[in-house]
Amino acid sequence: MNKKMETDEAKAIYERRKVIAEPLFGQIKNSGFRSFSLRGKEKVAAEFSLVCAAHNFKKFVKAGSIRLEDLKEVKKAA
């Protein structure tokens, strides 16, 4: 594996990974998610889907696509 990682192609792929994938996991961890509460592949997949949905929701709110005032109105109507 070390020999494979020494190639220029592998180094380029690894550099892209640091920019694309790793920040997402760091952001999720900083928001308080540390470990799964459930056990089993299906349950863990469902729990991780919820974590990702919450992360995406936070991004929408931060970007201004969703306003918190609108959510309060929806809550009142329910």
Measured CA to CA, the distance from residue 61 to residue 28 in angstroms comes to 16
How confident is the model over 67-76, as pLDDT tens digits? 777 777 766 7
How confident is the model over 31-62, as pLDDT tens digits? 899 999 999 999 999 999 999 999 998 888 88
Measured CA to CA, the distance from residue 26 to residue 34 in angstroms comes to 10
Regarding predicted confidence, which is higher, 10 or 39?
Answer: 39
Cα-Cα-Cα-Cα dihedral sign, residues 6, 12, 17, 18: positive
